[in-house]
Each structure stands twice: as C-alpha cells, then as structure tokens.
Structure 1
Amino acid sequence: MNEQIKKIIIIGGVIVITLAIGIWIGSVAFDPTGPLLTGENTYQAGWDAAKKRLADSGYAVPAAIEVLHMGGEVIEVRSNEVVLKIRPLEPLADPELDMRIVKIDANTIIYRAVQKDPIAYQKEVQEYNKKIQQSIGGPAAGAIIPPQMFLQEKILVSGIQKGDQILVGATQNVKEAKEFVAATITVQTLPAIAPPAPVQ
C-alpha cells in the first residue's frame, strides 16, 4: 500500500509540474504583446505583405482608389433595400464584403437598361461609322458620340427582381462599406443578337 501511494504521489507531482510548465510556456508564447504577435513575423504582417505583393503585381485594386460603382447579382429585394452579391474587389478582400446591403431612399433613381431595336441600332452604328469616315482628314466638327445600345427607363423598386444583375452608383466611397445608400441603380438586361450588317 505504501508503494502505491508513492506511485500516485509521483504521478500526481509529474502531472502538476507538467501542467505548470505548460501554462508558463503558453503565457509567454501567446502574450498579446509578445514577439509572436508583434513585429515582422506575425500573421497580420504576412497578410499585409501578401496583399501588397498582389497589389504591386497588378492583381488587386490599389487601396487608395475610391469605389463609387459596383455591380453584382441581386440575392434579395426588401422594401427599401437590396442584398447584392458582388465579385471581390481584390483577391484578398474581406469575404464579409462579398454581400452588400444597398439602401434605397427617396433620392435613389432606379433604371432598367432597355435594349434598342437591333435594326434601328444597326442604322445608328452605320451613321456613326459614316461620320467617322467623313471626319478623317477633314476639319474637326466636334465630338462624334457613338450610339448607345441601351435606353434607360425609370422603374420602381418593385422592378428589381432576385437574380437580376445591377450596377449601383454611390456618392461616397463604398469600397469598405457593408451598407450604403445608392444614388442610382441600373438593372442590366442581356442584349439580343443584332442582325449582321449588310455587306457593302
């Protein structure tokens, strides 16, 4: 019996000493002000270095650029807001910002991009091309504006549907904004295939 008590005391002592050493090492290694969390060899420093390298290589939007427009797919339409799923603005952007809440107020203008009649649009393109050809080598007659394939038709919030692709314009930088008020919303439509241009 005496030997069993000695074994239990020795095993208990080893466990207590091991726990004490483990707690001491843990408190030193994971001190919030310790060397593992501050300085050059930290997770945050590595993350920042990776973002900088991507930005320097041209794969990411530089941090200084303001984002006043963003597009994406409508996930949900509520009474005065739209949940919008966007493509990340940069590869290492916060994944929480892939979903944005676009607020709609009394000043928000909502459009639907409506495609012009393809034949009428084709005629406008031909007229535009003629003006370009006439302006080559001649005096400048002012700016020649290319024809637009779409017209903008004003609609209400009820005209926005789940699954629509929209382009949202804002008056302030929305790069890091989870929620923001839209100045404009344009609901995109897929263009119909225009007839081929006549051969001249």
Structure 2
Amino acid sequence: MVGLIFGIFLSAGSATLVMSLLYRRTLGFAWSIPGTVLWGPSLQHLSFGEVVGAFFVTGVLTLALGMSGLVRRTMALIPQPIVMAMVAAIFLQFGTDIVTSGRTAPAIVVPMILAYIILTAVPGLARVIPPVLGALLVGFCAVTVLGQLALASAGPVFAHRVFTLPVFTWSALLELVVPLILTVLVVQNGQGEAVLAQAGHRTPVNASAAVSGLFSVLNACFGRSPPV
C-alpha cells in the first residue's frame, strides 16, 4: 500500500508541476477517490494483476481520447449547471463532515475553523499564510498537543517500488475500464475544469485528459509494495 500511495502522489505531483508550468495556470492533478471506491471492491473477486491491467487499459484509452480532441467536444455537450451541481454534491460532504468532526473532536476542529476565519477576515494575513495552510498547521499543532500524533503506526517511511505484471481479462476490463474513464473525464476532470471556468480560466481540457492517461499508464504497474 505504501508503494501504491507513493506512485499515485509522485505521478500526480509531477503532472501538476509540468502542466502548471507549461500552461501558466493552476492545474492540479490528484488521485480519484471515486476511482478508488470503484476498484476497491473489485479486489475481492479479481486478482491484483487483473486490476492493474484494467488501469493500464484505462490510461491508454484516456490518453488516446485526450490526443484525439474528443474530450473538449464531449464536455461542451454537458450543461455547466449539471457539472457544477456535481461539484456541489462532492463538496457538500466536506461541509457536513466539519460539523460531525466538530462534535467528536472539538479541540481540534474549532481552532482550525477559527484560524481559517481569522486568516480570511484580516486583510494582509492571507498573503503571508494562506487560510487553508494556516488551518492545517493549527490542526497539526492541536493533534500534537493532545498526543494523538502517532507517526509509528503510519508504516515505513520509504516506499519500495515493485513491478506488477498486468493481466488482461475481459471480466476485469468490462467491469472497470468504462466506469474509470467516466470517473476521470467527467467526474474528476470535468468538475475541476468547471470550477476553473467559473473563476475565468480557460483550461486545456484535451491536454489534461492526455496527461492523466499518460501518467496513469506509467503508474499503473508500480503500485505494489513487496511482501513483508
């Protein structure tokens, strides 16, 4: 699992740096939580190699769709209010989770909320410390003071990369490839591009899809840690 997380964040961070520098825009790439939800249960009846094969094919097809120019045309057919409604549905859970967490861990959540409000409300402070970063630092300090920071339980510090040979089966491809492509292009990329469009940014839709596919292909086979 350490190798999996290492590979995902390395490829996502690399894609973010390359695309942001290339296009001079705030283009962020990360792993897909809905995608993780999709492939997690599949490991109960598919081998790891079969899931890797499905991810490999998904990356190739996503890369091909991005290079073909069809992604922007397809996204243009989806009404933006629908996409923004999807964005709102995703962020709604984060808002409700704040309320739930505030009841279970008020000593951590309340200082974080206050820090965010202060950094946002006081002119000039946000330029020195971004509100989200300030809230994160306050939360880290609160967790440390309360003795809830347990680094030893996080596992090894350095990840080991182990190549996993893809296994291509029709059952895995039919189960995972199409849902994963829709998740990447519509749910993840589509929502991010809608948010940037609302802020007045014109995003490279096809290039973003192609880069997502390329890094998915490169990362697909290197997501497994060696057995301990």
The two structures share one fold, judged by TM-score above 0.5: no
Q: TM-score, normalised by structure 2?
A: 0.18
Structure with more of its chain in helix, by fraction? 2
Q: TM-score, normalised by structure 1?
A: 0.19
- Compare relative contact order (CA 8 Å, sep 6+) and give the higher one, 1 or 2: 2
Structure with more of its chain in strand, by fraction? 1
